[in-house]
Amino acid sequence: MDYQKILNRIENELREFKDAGNVASYIPELCTVEPSKFGVHLITIDNRSYYLGDSDEKFSIQSISKVLSLTLAFMLEDDSLWERVGVEPSGTSFNSLVQLEYEQGIPRNPFINAGALVICDILISRLQNPKQKLLEFARKLSGSSSIDYCIRVSESERQVGYKNAALINLMKSYGNIKNNIETVLDFYFTLCSIEMTCQELAQTFLFLALNGVNPLINERIISVSKSKRINAIMQLCGFYDEAGEFSFKVGLPGKSGIGGGIVAIQPGKYSVAVWSPKLNEKGNSIKGMKVLELLTTKTQSSIF
Amino acid sequence: MDYQKILNRIENELREFKDAGNVASYIPELCTVEPSKFGVHLITIDNRSYYLGDSDEKFSIQSISKVLSLTLAFMLEDDSLWERVGVEPSGTSFNSLVQLEYEQGIPRNPFINAGALVICDILISRLQNPKQKLLEFARKLSGSSSIDYCIRVSESERQVGYKNAALINLMKSYGNIKNNIETVLDFYFTLCSIEMTCQELAQTFLFLALNGVNPLINERIISVSKSKRINAIMQLCGFYDEAGEFSFKVGLPGKSGIGGGIVAIQPGKYSVAVWSPKLNEKGNSIKGMKVLELLTTKTQSSIF
Amino acid sequence: MDYQKILNRIENELREFKDAGNVASYIPELCTVEPSKFGVHLITIDNRSYYLGDSDEKFSIQSISKVLSLTLAFMLEDDSLWERVGVEPSGTSFNSLVQLEYEQGIPRNPFINAGALVICDILISRLQNPKQKLLEFARKLSGSSSIDYCIRVSESERQVGYKNAALINLMKSYGNIKNNIETVLDFYFTLCSIEMTCQELAQTFLFLALNGVNPLINERIISVSKSKRINAIMQLCGFYDEAGEFSFKVGLPGKSGIGGGIVAIQPGKYSVAVWSPKLNEKGNSIKGMKVLELLTTKTQSSIF
Amino acid sequence: MDYQKILNRIENELREFKDAGNVASYIPELCTVEPSKFGVHLITIDNRSYYLGDSDEKFSIQSISKVLSLTLAFMLEDDSLWERVGVEPSGTSFNSLVQLEYEQGIPRNPFINAGALVICDILISRLQNPKQKLLEFARKLSGSSSIDYCIRVSESERQVGYKNAALINLMKSYGNIKNNIETVLDFYFTLCSIEMTCQELAQTFLFLALNGVNPLINERIISVSKSKRINAIMQLCGFYDEAGEFSFKVGLPGKSGIGGGIVAIQPGKYSVAVWSPKLNEKGNSIKGMKVLELLTTKTQSSIF
């Protein structure tokens, strides 16, 4: 399939596209990004790349990094992992305390903030230097040694991160956080501050299109079954309270971040990353979702 | 792929399988079913059939019929349908009033009871004789003229259907039910009482494995895009509060009913129906889920 | 104390009072009332009357009648009554289904709609002709034979009463409604349609200022202990989600209705009824609350 | 009235009283208290004292101290206080996050944990040394210089105080906490660790029975109106999720603590403190509530 032609056609169609959304405002440092930025990068499993626009510019991947931390935890833990975090969609806004209290400190899934905090707690228990390990993991998957945290962003988020502090304290009260609260929050905010380009992002998660094998280094990262399960969790929980909408319109497993990035996987075919900072009210990139909808429509290639 | 061999192996493995669940008790008439019943029927898109056990015995498909009514409504309505019902997972138990009140009478998706009631309301507005039309639709899709409602079951459910009456009254108070409440409830209880065999069930929904075309009559039932979207909704909302678990373990779009039936779709490959009446606490067939988990594991064929 | 002088002073102070509220709109028939109506009637336990404005005009007492039905049920039942309805404030809006579902069909108190429906159910089980009995009870307490239901109002409410139908069906699903749903709803809507003047209202509830004795007929209506308990329930639950505000500012047990009426009790001293149809967003008469606040401030006579 | 005779009779009646409850377990340090402790102290407004049992033994007054901090804040602030905390009963368990999130960080009332934290925040903004000031205030009201904090208890609570940390972080995220989180929590845990005897407790709050005047020092502590309002808030919110039950059975404004203490006010008559450590599941002293129920029954003296 000529993906470049399709991408070009999408670019053309979107020339008149008006996205009325706003750049994420709750993390001060993220507000400084140029709203009109737009990049796409698609890599097929045989390692061909297709791209558009600002696909080589770094941006804050934010929650997309939760797929990285989940993968790492899933490599280290057996199924007892799922006693501390569920795999069900949350059905409410992405940082709600209600459900967490109702379900006694067990977050619904690893992609809501509470669940990602539990995953951070697990990695801290398992690893000597989790921040360093996670960074090495991202660099290895992407083949890019320039991937790094952005301290300004993590600091900026920490200063307004009271809701996350509320969540973690609530979980601690239920015994579902084992390490020091400050240590876990620090790792969490750092994790979310990773910066990547669309190219790096697509490359990083290509192993999920290949049943767990990273083709760049030709290495199995995770078992077939676990790779499929990460995709399943992305499908059901990857878009805050809009997972249904994304499944409905795009039909691929994926994960978004409030930096305006989205990564999506067509198992057996490709991995694709999109970046456009203006978000809808659910916190997902408007233009990013539109690009992916057009992509699966034009290629008739959703998983359904 | 030799599906029969795989089914036989699954049957063997499950000989010792203890399912501690219970037959659905809230509809009195359903309690009379034999708990040890067990059937599987898989049909590939080139119309080959593979089966096990009581696959030719009729049972109450219950909520699985909501996929039929949704398909019919989706054929008749344009996208304005989605102003009256969402496509997001519910994140709580399947007949909760909480979310419905919070979201002002718009059900989260067409498979929770509230959403299925709205779909019934739409069909009543659109069709002269919706009960008859729906039956004809099921007979046409399955190629089986013996498919029918079971009045004893619909009557039995009506007599305990106070929660559904609560739901529909609440939606009426928000203006999201247009027809007479009794008429809609009557259609809803009748709809849920359809009886099919595993064979009929797998045949009925085979069009969802074929992008909307029923191969039996070689007729397009619904557009490619709509077919994919029904699969997407099943994936995210087909298993009450266990959609994530099913996606995680089985990885196929599907729909369960409290009669113990499950239908699942492997797009481009097959449709499969399972029946075993003992349910877990979430209301899904325990052995049914296990069969499908073994099936996608052994065939390495989930959509992810 | 010269109550008439105080009432006159209050009338003077309120001449410039702007109440920005609106007449209740959800029952069509209630919209026809003149918004500027205003009446006050205070009766002391030694049967002296003091009044202002339209105190002799009938109006729809609505939820205030729930104090009548509760009194009647409390006369007929022993403490097992409290197994079917609680005495705690609801903490949410007055017809919410959330709490009712959370607490498995047991309403928080007899003054929220769900609780009043349970009280109606109890009276239907106990009495041959509950509508007639309740009317006789109101006429006896008030000494006024002209008290009656308003069929136009009860019919009007029935036609929009879907939320009440939702509530009662939900309770029926939990087994907390014993009689036919239609019968209970019919009694409930009729009950709420009683019309009284401020004078009749103050007279009717004077027994609650006298430890259970109606001074007009010099008859004990209910025991000292039960009389105090009805006052206690009014204090905590008499004003929808504004009971705290009323306690805080007025400091008397009382009950409001969306017809714009309020009755309040100063135990050992007086009963007072106010009527002004414009409501705040919580559903309570704005001017009515202000009158009572001024009354207890000027007489320094709250129960606290 | 011969209160001593009545107290003696109550003591007699309760000799066989079985209270099946448990000593508060969530604060480790409180578990060490002797479960059979029992004291009562009643002081009339003309300063006569009546007492029973261990009424001269110190115990941890816990949440009762929230009445002290509220009084102090109410002395310092005007009505803008009520923009940051409500006066409505909470209708759910005493440290729930649900309602706080729903109401955007404004706690329902000053006696739930969230509300008490806001009051602490206000006192920190207003006072140089709030811990010292509060202690002086308690000593002045009670006339007892031995009143002090118990550092072991406050330390013990701090170590398990994750839910309070969750609450305050959530409020901070809504902008309703102005000072440093650690500072506020430290003051809060210290405040709750005050120890008093029943005698000191009854004496401290006697001003609420006297419209705001402390008779010991013959000094107005707070205005008539504010005194009544504190009583009103106690009436509606003083007993966690059991305020209705307490109003219903006892009929006095009061406040309980999980140390097993209760203080109650009969305005114009007396203040009474009870102590018995075994709690019901709502967190209130079982024997303490029973004593007060018998007291108002025998004296026929509830406020209703």
CA triple C179-C185-C190, angle to 5 deg: 125
Q: What one-character-per-residue DSSP string does B94-128 give?
A: TT-SHHHHHTTT--S-TTSHHHHHHHHHHHHHH-S
Q: What one-character-per-residue DSSP string does chain C give?
A: --HHHHHHHHHHHGGG-----EE--SSGGGGGS-TT--EEEEEETT--EEEEESTTS-EE-GGGHHHHHHHHHHHH--GGGGGTS--S---S-TT-SHHHHHTTT--S-TTSHHHHHHHHHHHHHH-SSHHHHHHHHHHHHHT-TT-EE-HHHHHHHHTTTHHHHHHHHHHHHTT---S-HHHHHHHHHHHHTEEE-HHHHHHHTGGGGTTTEETTTTEE-S-HHHHHHHHHHHHHHTTGGGHHHHHHHT-S-EEE-TTSEEEEEETTTEEEEEE--EE-TTSSBHHHHHHHHHHHHHHT----
Give the distance from residue B255's alpha carbon to the nearest chain A alpha carbon, in angstroms.
Answer: 14
Q: Is B231 on the interface with A (CB under 8 A)?
A: yes
Which stretch of DSSP H or E encloses residue D8?
helix D3-13
pLDDT score of D201 more than 90: yes
Please answer whether residues A127 and A133 qualify as being in contact, where contact means their C-beta atoms are separated by less than 8 angstroms. yes
DSSP 8-state code for residue B79: G
Q: Which pLDDT band, with edges at 50, 70 and 90, does C93 fall under?
A: low
Please answer whether residues B243 and A244 qualify as being in contact, where contact means their C-beta atoms are separated by less than 8 angstroms. no
Question: Is the CB of A99 less than 8 angstroms away from the CB of B91?
Answer: yes
Task: Give the C-alpha separation, A101 to A170, whole Å.
Answer: 8
Q: Is A266 on the interface with B (CB under 8 A)?
A: no
Q: What pLDDT is recorded for position C43?
A: 98
Contacts of B245 in chain A (CB under 8 A): 87-88
Question: Is the CB of D91 less than 8 angstroms away from the CB of C87?
Answer: no
Q: What pLDDT is recorded for position D93?
A: 54
Find the CB nearest C91 among D90, D247, D300.
Answer: D90
Q: What pLDDT is recorded for position B93?
A: 54
Task: Give the C-alpha separation, C87 to C82, whole Å.
Answer: 8
Please answer whether residues B188 and B164 qualify as being in contact, where contact means their C-beta atoms are separated by less than 8 angstroms. yes
Question: Is the CB of C232 less than 8 angstroms away from the CB of D304?
Answer: yes
Please answer whether residues D78 and D118 qualify as being in contact, where contact means their C-beta atoms are separated by less than 8 angstroms. no
> Could you identify the residue written with the tokens 């109890």?
C122
Task: Give the C-alpha separation, B74 to B140, whole Å.
Answer: 17
In a domain, B68, yes or no: yes
Task: Give the C-alpha separation, C285 to C278, whole Å.
Answer: 6
Question: Is the CB of C229 less than 8 angstroms away from the CB of D89?
Answer: no
In a domain, A303, yes or no: no
Burial of A266 from C-beta contacts in 10 A (0-12 / 13-18 / 19+): buried
Task: Give the C-alpha separation, B199 to B205, whole Å.
Answer: 10
In a domain, A294, yes or no: yes
Q: Which parts of chain A sit beneath pLDDT 70?
A: 91-95
| Contact partners, residue A4, CB within 8 Å, separation at least 6 | A50
- Kindly list the partner chains of chain A, i.e. chains with 3 or more CB atom pairs below 8 Å: B, D
Q: Which pLDDT band, with edges at 50, 70 and 90, does C95 fall under?
A: very low
pLDDT score of C94 more than 60: no
Contacts of C96 in chain B (CB under 8 A): 101
Q: Is B236 on the interface with A (CB under 8 A)?
A: yes
Question: Is the CB of A304 less than 8 angstroms away from the CB of B229?
Answer: yes
Q: How many domains does chain D have?
A: 1
Give the distance from residue A281's alpha carbon to the nearest chain B alpha carbon, in angstroms.
Answer: 15
Contacts of A96 in chain B (CB under 8 A): none
Type of residue numbered D137: F
Find the CB nearest C173 among B101, B166, B181.
Answer: B166
Residue B261 in 3-state DSSP? strand
Sheet holding D194-196, edge to edge: D59-60, D194-196, D148-149
Q: Is B87 on the interface with A (CB under 8 A)?
A: yes
Q: Which long-range contacts (CB under 8 A, 24 or more apart) does D99-103 make?
A: D99/C91, D100/D167, D100/D170, D100/D171, D101/A96, D101/A97, D101/A98, D101/D170
**Lowest-pLDDT choice from B143-147, B239-243, C290-294, D245-249:** B239-243
Q: What one-character-per-residue DSSP string does A119-154 give?
A: HHHHHHHH-SSHHHHHHHHHHHHHT-TT-EE-HHHH
**Confidence (pTM):** 0.90
pLDDT score of D4 more than 90: yes
Query: What CATH code is carried by the domain that includes residue A272?
Result: 3.40.710.10
Summarize the confidence of residues C90-102 as an average pLDDT.
68
Task: Give the C-alpha separation, B209 to B228, whole Å.
Answer: 9
Which two three-digit tokens encode residue C107? 């309403």
DSSP 8-state code for residue A272: E
Q: Residue C296's closest CA among C255, C259, C253? A: C253
Q: Which pLDDT band, with edges at 50, 70 and 90, does C92 fall under?
A: low
Contacts of A163 in chain D (CB under 8 A): 169-170, 173
What's chain B's average pLDDT?
94
Of A22 and B130, the structure prediction assigns the larger pLDDT to B130
Q: Is D172 on the interface with A (CB under 8 A)?
A: yes
Helix axis angle, A130-142 to A113-126, nearest 10°: 100
| Contact partners, residue A295, CB within 8 Å, separation at least 6 | A6, A7, A10, A42, A250, A272, A301
Helix axis angle, D113-126 to D181-191, nearest 10°: 110
Q: Hey, of B162, B184, B185, which one would you mutate to test binding to chain C, going by the most C CBs within 10 A of its CB?
A: B162
φ, ψ dihedrals at A213, nearest 5°: -100, 130
> Where do the H-state alpha helices sit in B143-217?
151-158, 162-173, 181-191, 198-204
Which two three-digit tokens encode residue D108? 């329902």
Q: Which pLDDT band, with edges at 50, 70 and 90, does D153 fall under?
A: very high
Quick one: what percent of chain B has pLDDT higher than 90?
A: 83
Which stretch of DSSP H or E encloses residue A158?
helix A151-158
Task: Give the C-alpha separation, A181 to A161, whole Å.
Answer: 13
- Kindly list the partner chains of chain D, i.e. chains with 3 or more CB atom pairs below 8 Å: A, C
Q: What pLDDT is recorded for position B94?
A: 41
Summarize the confidence of residues C10-38 as an average pLDDT.
89
Question: Is the CB of A173 less than 8 angstroms away from the CB of D167?
Answer: no
Quick one: what percent of chain C has pLDDT higher than 90?
A: 83
pLDDT score of B170 more than 60: yes
| Contact partners, residue C234, CB within 8 Å, separation at least 6 | C67, C111, C208, C253, C254, C255, C265
In a domain, A267, yes or no: yes
What's chain D's average pLDDT?
94
Helix axis angle, D162-173 to A162-173, nearest 10°: 160
Residue D169 in 3-state DSSP? helix
In a domain, B92, yes or no: yes
- For A227, the closest chain B residue by CA position comes to B304
Q: Which pLDDT band, with edges at 50, 70 and 90, does B95 fall under?
A: very low
Please answer whether residues C241 and C90 qualify as being in contact, where contact means their C-beta atoms are separated by less than 8 angstroms. yes
* Cα dihedral A291→A297→A299→A301 (10° resolution): 110
Q: What pLDDT is recorded for position D104?
A: 87
Q: Is B169 on the interface with C (CB under 8 A)?
A: yes
- Kindly list the partner chains of chain C, i.e. chains with 3 or more CB atom pairs below 8 Å: B, D
Task: Give the C-alpha separation, A283 to A21, whole Å.
Answer: 9
Summarize the confidence of residues B253-272 as an average pLDDT.
97
Q: Is B96 on the interface with C (CB under 8 A)?
A: yes
**Residue B251 is part of which domain span?**
3-298
In a domain, A264, yes or no: yes
Q: Is the ipTM of this complex over 0.85?
A: yes
